[in-house]
Structure 1
């Protein structure tokens, strides 16, 4: 009876959990901003700060575009023949959907676009799951820079678990079971897909992606205050931890709230709170603007392609 009751309540609990997470993080940010409001209002960009922001925007735009290219690699590792330009365009077009409630609509959009051109549903689904795993694995070594002692060791253990889990020897049996359930015995008409090799190239691609995102944040930081070279690794590690938690914690579309709260919590004790708040706010604006521009360009290119085909 309790099991049945829990099953009925589970969808509602998930919904409320999302709102609790989002509400708690926004409350934390509001309290921090309230305590430092006057100082934040007095923040001004440095000389050449505008140049740093332009560079941050360009690097962040490159990161999103590069991530679409890496998704194309992941699809190819899943034995799907796709155009890299198609993968990049679809990735950019769907990326802004992660800001919708539920934080899954960008994945849904990519799977739908993939199946519309005849790709395997399971392969498309595996590609978006594998993409998130590879992103997390790529951020974990950098997270260790911001964590002291044994906590850093935990990130290494988590990294090892992810790297082992994505090996075809372990991942393929899981995917095959899921596909057998989905196909319900129709294997003759729907051959099972398998990963042929370890996804090393996509993993290295995601490492570059996280590195570009971190560089974008450092450039936004430099627009406000000069870099302290001996502490750049701490800033980069704090960003990586905040970005990772924004990626994996449910209930925060696009990581909004979780990313900002984590960055403030990790870096506040090491740097002035006003600097952290200003850098985080600037970077969020830069990231959203880059994603919006990427989506707009992708839609425009798609429309141009369709017009050419109709002529």
Structure 2
């Protein structure tokens, strides 16, 4: 399972102009990204990131020397922009909307609400692998067809002659399973079969998290005074949702493996009994 987000809300302050990261008392650690990593985890391009910054849709990064450092507030803002664009809004519409939001609410609280709802649930960073590295991990199982299927599933992303994994931990687990003799094609098929079920679980859990908003008008943001407590509540619920997923997954795995073991033992016993019944009985001496 991926590492869960912190149980306390992260700092909602915009990146400081001094270049120092927020390490104030009580502030939770944040995911940090270079501009390339930010574009990758937000499903956009570096060019778009620059353009959104120029239009004032995205806050500038924190400067550390010559490097710009982004965080989960930037990820959630980019996801919001992508979502609105997919629904037919123009950048000008989105700019007006965000301006109205920022003027009507405290910017820090809005960034905090965006991050609590839309921030990443995993603290993993994408990692780039060369074809040679993948062959070392998976051996001859890393066939062109297997790599193509992994790309189709989004487990890998092509980047020139290399591949990028959004979850290096999952990739390493897959490599270990492949080395244990599980056919890579079967493993990828299992991911494809399981994904819709995980999507349904995720929607149910996200609904639990954001249900805190149900008492407000769906066409309006919560009152500014309510936002800090709302952000805090959502951050407390998020890791509990992950605990629930892990617990239920463990229960389901134990149940499935127990059923399999029971069926396998029963089949062996039936075969043994049938063999015994077919053998002629020896006369008693």
Same fold (TM over 0.5): no
TM-score, with structure 2 as normaliser: 0.30
Q: TM-score, normalised by structure 1?
A: 0.28
Bigger CA radius of gyration? 2
Greater relative contact order: 1 or 2 (C-alpha under 8 angstroms, separation 6 or more)?
1
Name the one with the larger helix percent: 1
Larger strand proportion of the pair = 2
